[in-house]
Amino acid sequence: MLRQIIYIDEAKCNGCGKCAAACHEGAIGMINGKAKLLRDDYCDGLGDCLPECPTGAITFEKREAAAYDEAAVRAHKFKQFETAHAHREGGCPGSKIREMNRRTTVGATPAVNTAVPSQLRQWPCQIKLVPITAPFYENANLLIAADCTAYAYADFHAEFMQNKITLIGCPKLDSVDYSEKLAEIIRQNDIHSLTVLRMEVPCCGGLETAAKKALAQSGKHLPLQVVTISVEGNLLG
Protein backbone atom coordinates (compact mmCIF):
# COMPACT_ATOMS: atom_id res chain seq x y z
CA MET A 1 0.00 0.00 0.00
CA LEU A 2 1.08 3.60 -0.55
CA ARG A 3 1.61 5.31 2.79
CA GLN A 4 3.78 7.68 4.83
CA ILE A 5 6.81 6.03 6.40
CA ILE A 6 10.19 7.16 7.71
CA TYR A 7 13.32 7.39 5.59
CA ILE A 8 16.81 7.23 7.15
CA ASP A 9 19.68 8.88 5.29
CA GLU A 10 22.62 6.65 6.19
CA ALA A 11 25.15 9.29 5.10
CA LYS A 12 23.82 11.72 7.72
CA CYS A 13 23.41 9.12 10.52
CA ASN A 14 26.05 9.45 13.25
CA GLY A 15 25.08 6.20 14.98
CA CYS A 16 23.93 7.78 18.25
CA GLY A 17 20.98 5.35 18.56
CA LYS A 18 18.55 7.95 19.88
CA CYS A 19 16.02 7.18 17.15
CA ALA A 20 16.05 3.46 17.97
CA ALA A 21 15.45 4.24 21.65
CA ALA A 22 12.58 6.58 20.74
CA CYS A 23 10.88 4.04 18.48
CA HIS A 24 8.43 2.29 20.81
CA GLU A 25 7.43 -0.19 18.09
CA GLY A 26 10.94 -1.55 17.50
CA ALA A 27 10.95 -0.58 13.82
CA ILE A 28 14.44 0.96 14.01
CA GLY A 29 17.61 -0.91 14.92
CA MET A 30 21.35 -0.23 14.87
CA ILE A 31 23.33 -2.23 12.30
CA ASN A 32 27.05 -1.68 11.82
CA GLY A 33 26.82 1.62 13.67
CA LYS A 34 23.99 3.01 11.56
CA ALA A 35 20.24 3.30 12.15
CA LYS A 36 18.13 1.06 9.92
CA LEU A 37 14.39 0.67 9.36
CA LEU A 38 14.12 -3.03 10.15
CA ARG A 39 10.51 -3.68 9.17
CA ASP A 40 8.01 -1.49 7.35
CA ASP A 41 5.08 -3.09 9.18
CA TYR A 42 6.54 -2.03 12.56
CA CYS A 43 6.61 1.66 11.55
CA ASP A 44 3.40 3.51 12.36
CA GLY A 45 4.49 6.57 10.38
CA LEU A 46 3.95 8.96 13.30
CA GLY A 47 7.62 9.89 13.54
CA ASP A 48 8.43 9.85 17.27
CA CYS A 49 12.00 9.26 16.14
CA LEU A 50 12.29 12.45 14.06
CA PRO A 51 12.83 15.01 16.84
CA GLU A 52 15.40 12.74 18.53
CA CYS A 53 17.77 12.70 15.55
CA PRO A 54 20.53 15.32 16.07
CA THR A 55 21.71 15.25 12.45
CA GLY A 56 18.41 15.43 10.56
CA ALA A 57 18.98 11.98 9.05
CA ILE A 58 15.32 10.97 9.43
CA THR A 59 12.53 12.34 7.26
CA PHE A 60 9.15 11.19 6.00
CA GLU A 61 8.60 9.72 2.57
CA LYS A 62 5.52 8.36 0.84
CA ARG A 63 6.09 5.01 -0.83
CA GLU A 64 4.80 1.48 -1.22
CA ALA A 65 5.14 -0.22 2.15
CA ALA A 66 3.49 -2.93 4.19
CA ALA A 67 0.64 -1.69 6.36
CA TYR A 68 1.38 -1.00 10.01
CA ASP A 69 0.71 -4.26 11.90
CA GLU A 70 -0.23 -3.44 15.49
CA ALA A 71 -0.65 -7.12 16.41
CA ALA A 72 2.83 -7.98 15.13
CA VAL A 73 4.33 -5.05 17.02
CA ARG A 74 2.58 -6.11 20.22
CA ALA A 75 3.81 -9.70 19.84
CA HIS A 76 7.34 -8.45 19.17
CA LYS A 77 7.33 -6.22 22.24
CA PHE A 78 5.98 -9.00 24.44
CA LYS A 79 8.67 -11.41 23.20
CA GLN A 80 11.35 -8.84 24.00
CA PHE A 81 9.87 -8.30 27.45
CA GLU A 82 9.71 -12.04 28.16
CA THR A 83 13.33 -12.47 27.13
CA ALA A 84 14.47 -9.64 29.39
CA HIS A 85 12.34 -10.92 32.26
CA ALA A 86 13.70 -14.47 31.88
CA HIS A 87 17.26 -13.23 32.34
CA ARG A 88 16.59 -11.49 35.63
CA GLU A 89 18.27 -13.17 38.57
CA GLY A 90 16.13 -15.03 41.07
CA GLY A 91 12.36 -14.93 41.09
CA CYS A 92 9.71 -17.61 41.26
CA PRO A 93 9.23 -19.71 38.09
CA GLY A 94 5.49 -19.40 38.66
CA SER A 95 5.68 -15.63 38.21
CA LYS A 96 6.72 -15.91 34.55
CA ILE A 97 4.98 -13.19 32.57
CA ARG A 98 2.14 -14.39 30.37
CA GLU A 99 -0.51 -12.61 28.33
CA MET A 100 -3.82 -14.26 27.45
CA ASN A 101 -5.69 -12.90 24.45
CA ARG A 102 -9.29 -13.52 25.42
CA ARG A 103 -11.34 -13.90 22.25
CA THR A 104 -14.51 -15.02 23.97
CA THR A 105 -16.96 -12.74 25.70
CA VAL A 106 -19.31 -13.47 28.53
CA GLY A 107 -22.32 -15.28 27.16
CA ALA A 108 -20.39 -16.85 24.27
CA THR A 109 -19.97 -20.60 23.94
CA PRO A 110 -17.39 -21.56 26.58
CA ALA A 111 -14.24 -23.52 25.89
CA VAL A 112 -14.24 -27.28 26.46
CA ASN A 113 -14.54 -28.22 30.15
CA THR A 114 -14.99 -24.56 31.13
CA ALA A 115 -18.42 -23.67 32.47
CA VAL A 116 -17.71 -19.94 32.49
CA PRO A 117 -14.77 -18.53 30.50
CA SER A 118 -12.08 -16.85 32.57
CA GLN A 119 -11.51 -13.16 31.94
CA LEU A 120 -7.98 -13.07 33.35
CA ARG A 121 -5.80 -11.47 30.67
CA GLN A 122 -2.34 -11.67 32.24
CA TRP A 123 -0.15 -13.56 34.68
CA PRO A 124 0.89 -12.92 37.42
CA CYS A 125 -1.98 -11.01 38.96
CA GLN A 126 -0.83 -10.46 42.57
CA ILE A 127 0.21 -6.85 43.14
CA LYS A 128 3.40 -8.03 44.85
CA LEU A 129 4.38 -10.15 41.84
CA VAL A 130 3.33 -8.13 38.79
CA PRO A 131 6.10 -6.21 36.98
CA ILE A 132 6.02 -2.42 36.91
CA THR A 133 6.18 -2.35 33.12
CA ALA A 134 4.79 -4.95 30.71
CA PRO A 135 3.14 -4.99 27.29
CA PHE A 136 -0.20 -6.00 28.78
CA TYR A 137 -0.49 -2.59 30.48
CA GLU A 138 -0.65 -0.85 27.09
CA ASN A 139 -4.02 0.91 26.65
CA ALA A 140 -5.23 -0.92 29.76
CA ASN A 141 -8.11 -0.36 32.11
CA LEU A 142 -6.78 -1.44 35.49
CA LEU A 143 -8.80 -3.39 38.06
CA ILE A 144 -7.29 -3.27 41.55
CA ALA A 145 -9.23 -5.82 43.56
CA ALA A 146 -9.13 -7.12 47.10
CA ASP A 147 -8.50 -10.86 47.21
CA CYS A 148 -11.81 -11.62 48.89
CA THR A 149 -13.95 -9.92 46.26
CA ALA A 150 -13.46 -12.80 43.83
CA TYR A 151 -14.99 -15.17 46.38
CA ALA A 152 -17.68 -12.88 47.74
CA TYR A 153 -19.10 -11.67 44.43
CA ALA A 154 -20.38 -14.38 42.11
CA ASP A 155 -20.08 -12.44 38.83
CA PHE A 156 -16.57 -11.13 39.52
CA HIS A 157 -15.20 -12.21 36.11
CA ALA A 158 -18.17 -11.11 34.04
CA GLU A 159 -18.82 -7.74 35.64
CA PHE A 160 -15.39 -6.55 36.69
CA MET A 161 -12.52 -8.47 35.07
CA GLN A 162 -13.70 -8.47 31.47
CA ASN A 163 -11.48 -6.26 29.26
CA LYS A 164 -9.35 -5.22 32.24
CA ILE A 165 -5.90 -6.00 33.59
CA THR A 166 -6.49 -7.43 37.06
CA LEU A 167 -4.24 -6.78 40.06
CA ILE A 168 -5.24 -8.36 43.35
CA GLY A 169 -3.97 -8.01 46.89
CA CYS A 170 -4.79 -7.73 50.58
CA PRO A 171 -3.09 -4.93 52.52
CA LYS A 172 -3.74 -6.71 55.80
CA LEU A 173 -2.21 -10.05 54.81
CA ASP A 174 0.65 -8.59 52.78
CA SER A 175 1.34 -5.90 55.39
CA VAL A 176 2.67 -3.54 52.75
CA ASP A 177 1.77 -0.18 51.28
CA TYR A 178 0.95 -0.85 47.62
CA SER A 179 0.85 2.82 46.70
CA GLU A 180 4.47 3.22 45.60
CA LYS A 181 4.39 0.26 43.20
CA LEU A 182 0.95 1.14 41.87
CA ALA A 183 2.10 4.73 41.29
CA GLU A 184 5.00 3.51 39.15
CA ILE A 185 2.71 1.20 37.18
CA ILE A 186 0.38 4.12 36.44
CA ARG A 187 3.24 6.53 35.73
CA GLN A 188 5.24 4.29 33.40
CA ASN A 189 2.42 2.74 31.38
CA ASP A 190 -0.48 3.84 29.20
CA ILE A 191 -3.27 3.20 31.72
CA HIS A 192 -6.70 4.56 30.77
CA SER A 193 -8.72 4.07 33.97
CA LEU A 194 -8.71 2.57 37.47
CA THR A 195 -11.40 0.53 39.17
CA VAL A 196 -10.93 -0.38 42.82
CA LEU A 197 -13.00 -3.32 44.04
CA ARG A 198 -12.97 -3.71 47.81
CA MET A 199 -14.89 -5.41 50.59
CA GLU A 200 -16.93 -3.47 53.14
CA VAL A 201 -14.61 -4.47 56.00
CA PRO A 202 -12.41 -1.66 57.39
CA CYS A 203 -9.05 -3.27 56.57
CA CYS A 204 -9.97 -3.17 52.87
CA GLY A 205 -9.84 0.60 53.09
CA GLY A 206 -6.08 0.25 52.82
CA LEU A 207 -6.43 -0.89 49.22
CA GLU A 208 -8.64 2.06 48.31
CA THR A 209 -6.28 4.47 50.04
CA ALA A 210 -3.25 2.98 48.26
CA ALA A 211 -4.92 3.31 44.85
CA LYS A 212 -5.93 6.93 45.44
CA LYS A 213 -2.48 7.78 46.80
CA ALA A 214 -0.83 6.05 43.83
CA LEU A 215 -2.93 8.01 41.35
CA ALA A 216 -2.00 11.28 43.05
CA GLN A 217 1.70 10.36 43.13
CA SER A 218 1.69 9.34 39.47
CA GLY A 219 0.84 12.88 38.39
CA LYS A 220 -1.79 11.59 35.97
CA HIS A 221 -5.49 12.40 35.89
CA LEU A 222 -7.38 9.18 35.22
CA PRO A 223 -10.98 8.11 35.85
CA LEU A 224 -11.21 6.31 39.21
CA GLN A 225 -14.16 4.22 40.36
CA VAL A 226 -14.44 2.56 43.77
CA VAL A 227 -16.91 -0.31 44.17
CA THR A 228 -17.65 -1.95 47.53
CA ILE A 229 -18.87 -5.52 48.06
CA SER A 230 -20.67 -6.60 51.24
CA VAL A 231 -19.63 -9.75 53.10
CA GLU A 232 -22.94 -11.23 51.88
CA GLY A 233 -21.77 -10.71 48.31
CA ASN A 234 -23.91 -7.70 47.38
CA LEU A 235 -22.89 -4.53 45.58
CA LEU A 236 -22.97 -1.58 47.95
CA GLY A 237 -21.88 1.04 45.44
Instruction: Report the alpha-carbon distance of residue 106 to residue 207 in Å, rounded.
Output: 27
Burial code (b: 16+ CB inside 10 Å, e: under 16) for 28-65 equals bbbeeeebebbbbbbbbeebebeebbeeebbeeeeeeb
Average pLDDT, the chain: 86
Question: Does residue 173 have a pLDDT over 80?
Answer: yes
Percentage of the chain with pLDDT > 90?
Answer: 59
Look at residue 113 in the predicted model and tell me its pLDDT: 53
Confirm if 130 and 191 have CB atoms less than 8 A apart: no
Tens-place pLDDT, residues 43-99: 999 888 999 899 999 999 999 999 998 888 877 776 666 555 554 544 556 667 778
Instruction: Report the alpha-carbon distance of residue 186 to residue 119 in Å, rounded.
Output: 21
Tens-place pLDDT, residues 111-152: 455 567 899 999 899 998 888 888 899 899 999 999 999 999
Read off the pLDDT band of 205 (50, 70, 90): very high
Look at residue 183 in the predicted model and tell me its pLDDT: 93
Read off the pLDDT band of 154 (50, 70, 90): very high
Confirm if 77 and 17 have CB atoms less than 8 A apart: no
* Residue 125: closest CA among 163, 89, 94: 94
